[in-house]
A and B are shown apart, each in its own frame.
Chain A
């Protein structure tokens, strides 16, 4: 699969997991992973999943508008930049968001999230 296809597939898998089974996101992070969520910095798969599963909403649906990717260097890393909107259950309006992932290859031929920066866009 070409890099754009890989990035798209990863993003779809990530948000499907987020929207359907948030606790399972733990499989996509590792010990050295970092998440900055609306300015809060969290490190390590366990803490990251704890943060994501403790967000003050039960159900949500991500709508992806754009996915861009670029290789990040000789390590085989990939930068993925996403913009879209989140719909929370029971709410009328959607929240715009942007998210940056830095993916690293695993020995099994998959990817994990090394860096993750998430921002809502309020303006």
Chain B
């Protein structure tokens, strides 16, 4: 009986407003990232792709390894936008803007990411595509090239000094 109730719940969830689903997914993702990063593995599959600051990673295992190495937390979400696209796959595109905070530092930085969510047979979603980018600091008074390099360098320095491997 519990199993059937859960199926019904999931069916109802899937037929609910896509904006609500997208917002719920974004919040669930960020919360899981902050509290139990290894659990993110359940959201990715073999063919999933992540591009993190230009680095391309494929497959749930490699993606979770990359996510586990990142020394920041999601601080808050600004905007969540989504669009369906029609079958045969029936995917949901979600675009999220927000702020990350570097662990143990006062440094916060805006970030943007997009997800392409595919429905699973179990009535849930998995992440087929995921792209993550930081917005440069002090934009645009510093030329973007320099901005990105200096931010990457600062993050790199923070990463190494806190004992995390950069790559």
Additional 8 contacts, C-beta under 8 A, given A73-B118, A119-B79? A63-B144, A65-B148, A68-B131, A70-B116, A72-B91, A73-B128, A98-B97, A102-B116
The distance in angstroms between the C-alpha atoms of A94 and B144, with both chains bound, is 12
By CB atoms of chain B within 10 A, which of A84, A85, A100, A115 has the most?
A: A100
Once the chains are docked, how many angstroms separate the CA of A93 from the CA of B141?
Answer: 8
| Interchain pairs with CB closer than 8 A, number | 94
A123 sits at the interface (CB 8 A): yes
Cα distance A66–B112 when bound, in Å? 12
Closest to A4 in B: B56
CB pair A117 B81 closer than 8 Å:
yes
With a CB–CB cut-off of 8 A, which chain B residues contact A75? 88-89
Within 8 A of B (CB), among A75-99: 75, 79, 81, 83-85, 93-94, 96, 98
State A32–B86 Cα separation when bound (angstroms): 9
Q: Known A72-B129, A96-B140; judge A115-B93 contact (CB<8 A).
A: yes
Q: State whether A79 and B116 are in contact (beta carbons under 8 Å apart), knowing that A65-B148, A66-B133, A121-B135 are contacts in the complex.
A: yes
Contacts of A121 in B (CB 8 A): 97, 110, 112, 135
The secondary structure that dominates the B interface is strand
- Whether the Cβ atoms of A93 and B110 lie closer than 8 Å is no
A47 interfacial by beta-carbon distance below 8 Å: no
Known contacts A32-B86, A102-B85, A119-B95: A72-B128 contact under CB 8 Å: yes
CA distance A75 to B51 in the complex (A): 20
- Residues from chain B with a CB closer than 8 A to the CB of A45 are none
A contact residues, range: 20 to 34
> Which residues of A does B touch, CB under 8 Å?
32, 34, 36, 39, 41, 63, 65-66, 68, 70-73, 75, 79, 81, 83-85, 93-94, 96, 98, 100, 102, 114-115, 117, 119, 121, 123
Q: Which 10 A-B pairs have the closest CB atoms?
A: A98-B112, A94-B140, A81-B131, A65-B144, A117-B95, A70-B129, A115-B83, A117-B81, A68-B51, A68-B131
B149 to chain A, nearest CB (A): 12
A85 engages B131 (CB within 8 Å)? no
Q: List 20 A-B contacts (CB under 8 A).
A: A39-B81, A63-B140, A66-B54, A66-B133, A68-B54, A72-B116, A75-B88, A79-B93, A83-B135, A94-B140, A96-B135, A98-B112, A102-B116, A115-B85, A115-B93, A117-B93, A119-B79, A121-B135, A123-B99, A123-B110
> Is the Cβ of A36 less than 8 Å from the Cβ of B83?
yes
Distance in Å: Cβ of B60 to nearest Cβ of chain A: 15
Closest to A66 in B: B133
Contacts of B88 in A (CB 8 A): 75
Q: Are B148 and A70 in contact (CB under 8 A)?
A: no
List residues of chain A with CB within 8 A of the CB of B140: 63, 85, 93-94, 96
